């Protein structure tokens, strides 16, 4: 280890260990929309995708973003909430849009608790990250606007399939039936 520490080239490429942070243990959700996780994906085909996943049902939402400002992100959330309802809590990472005053004021105005992942501990947002990997694998090498139709085509089978952790489909848990 001393050799690596004293070698200028090795120390440049040595894996950096993130500082230890304490995080709250995960609480098991008992109903839909108690907690949702949000994140941005991309760029994929030069586009950014906004992702939301309900912690209880694993119901996903994803929208191709025209811009990623805090204001537009709020607009996208309002559109999603008009379809599925308002969550009690949102968990996000610390990207500028999610830590902006505009975003905080909007959530506070709706009575939504905003929990942010501790720095150096993005796995707190693991529910969204897990879905992101599934989504990336599904939409593959889509180009440009094809993402806008590939994402909805992905949702019907995903939302109606049994999730490995819940043993029920996201649609059944969120809506009470498959779609």
DSSP string, 139-178: HTT--TTHHHHHHHHHHHHHHHSPPTTTSS-HHHHHHSS-
Global confidence as pTM: 0.79
Asked if residue 175 is part of any domain, the answer here is no
Residue listed under structure tokens 């969550």:
87
Tokens linked to 22: 């304490």
Task: Count CA within 13 A, CB hemisphere, residue 96.
Answer: 4
What tens digit of pLDDT does each residue of 127-163 get? 677 788 888 887 765 555 577 888 888 888 999 999 8
- Cis? peptide before 43, omega within 30° of 0: yes
176: left (phi over 0), alpha (psi -120 to 50) or beta: left
Asked if residue 86 is part of any domain, the answer here is yes
CATH of the domain at 119: 3.30.420.10
Asked if residue 169 is part of any domain, the answer here is no
How many domains does the chain contain in total? 1
Asked if residue 98 is part of any domain, the answer here is yes
Asked if residue 59 is part of any domain, the answer here is yes
Asked if residue 58 is part of any domain, the answer here is yes
Domain that holds residue 40: 29-126+134-146
Tokens linked to 62: 């994803």
Asked if residue 165 is part of any domain, the answer here is no
Asked if residue 84 is part of any domain, the answer here is yes
Query: Are the CB atoms for 46 and 68 separated by under 8 Å?
Result: no
What tens digit of pLDDT does each residue of 53-88 get? 999 999 999 999 989 999 999 999 999 999 999 999
């Amino acid at each position: 280890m001393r050799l690596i520490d004293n070698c200028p080239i090795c120390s440049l490429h040595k894996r950096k260990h993130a500082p230890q942070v304490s995080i709250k243990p995960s609480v098991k959700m008992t109903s839909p929309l108690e907690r949702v996780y949000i994140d941005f994906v991309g760029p994929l085909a030069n586009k950014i995708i906004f992702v939301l996943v309900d912690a209880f049902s694993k119901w996903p939402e994803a929208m191709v973003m025209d811009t990623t400002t805090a204001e537009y992100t709020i607009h996208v959330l309002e559109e999603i909430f008009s379809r599925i309802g308002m969550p009690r809590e949102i968990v996000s990472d610390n990207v500028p849009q999610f830590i902006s005053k505009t975003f905080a004021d909007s959530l506070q105005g709706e009575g939504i608790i905003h929990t942010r992942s501790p720095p150096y501990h993005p796995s707190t947002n693991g529910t969204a990250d897990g879905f992101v990997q599934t989504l990336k694998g599904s939409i593959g090498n889509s180009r440009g606007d094809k993402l806008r139709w590939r994402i909805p085509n992905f949702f019907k089978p995903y939302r109606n399939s049994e999730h490995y952790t819940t043993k029920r489909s996201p649609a059944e848990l969120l809506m009470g039936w498959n779609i």
